[in-house]
Amino acid sequence: MSTDSKTSSERDTSKTDPQMQGPLRTWSAFFCGKAHLIFWSLAILGFVLDYVTKEWALKNIGPDEYGNIRFVNIIEDYVRFVLVFNEGASWGILSGKTGLLLAGSAVALVFVFWLFVTLHRRQRVAQVALGMLLGGAMGNTYDRIFRNGRVVDFFEVNFHFPPFDPFPAFNVADTLLCVGVGILILTMIFTKKSLPH
C-alpha cells in the first residue's frame, strides 16, 4: 500500500516538474520559437530604449557651454532628470573597477541565458522577465565598454526620507533589471506548482 502511494506521489511530482518531463528538447524554452520571440524581442527593445534615452540625456541635460549642470524637473523637489556618470554599480559600489564590473556583467548575461534554456517553454511571464533582464544587462554593459567605463544615469527620485533623499540616479536599464528580477521571483513563487501541461 505504501509503495503504491509513493509511486502515485512521484507521478504527481513529475507532472509539475519540467525537469522530469523527458528530454530537454521536449520542454525547454530554448527549443520553442515563440519563447525566443518573446525573450529576444524584449531584450532588444529594452536595450534600444535604454540607449535612446541615454542619448537624449547626454544631449539635453548634460553640462551647458559654461559647465553648468542642467536638469529637468518632473515633480518639483521630488522627481527630476539630471545627468550623472556612474563608474561603479548601484550606490557607486566598486567605482572605477571597470574590469571587475565587466566580468560580473558577462557572468550575469550567461546566467540569464542559462535560465532561459532551463525554463519551461510555457512559462511566458518568466520569459518576459528574462528578456527584460537581458535588455537591462546589455544596456549598462554597453556603457561600460563604449563610454569609458561610465554608466549614464539620469532619473533621480527624492522623497526626502532615507534611502530616497535622494535615491541614487538610475536609468532605463536599471529599471528593467529591477522589474525583471521582481517578476521572476514572483513567477518562481506562484507558478512552480501550477505549470501548464
Domain count, the chain: 1
Q: How far apart are CA 134 and CA 23, in angstroms?
A: 26
Distance (Å, rounded) from C-alpha 193 to C-alpha 17? 8
The domain in which residue 68 lies consists of 22-194
Domain-located, residue 151: yes
Is the residue at 114 inside a domain? yes
Place of cell 566598486: 94
Contact criterion met (CB below 8 Å) for 166 and 157: yes
Taking only the tens place, the pLDDT of each residue in 9-47 is 444 444 445 444 578 888 999 999 999 999 999 999 999
Query: What residues are labeled active site?
Result: 153, 174
- Is 8 among the domain residues? no
Give the containing element (helix H, strand E) for 84. Answer: strand 79-86
How far apart CA 42 and CA 40 sit, in angstroms, is 5
Q: Render pLDDT for 56-94 as a digit per residue (tens, 0 to 9).
A: 999 998 777 666 777 889 998 899 999 999 988 876 777
Within-domain flag for 66:
yes
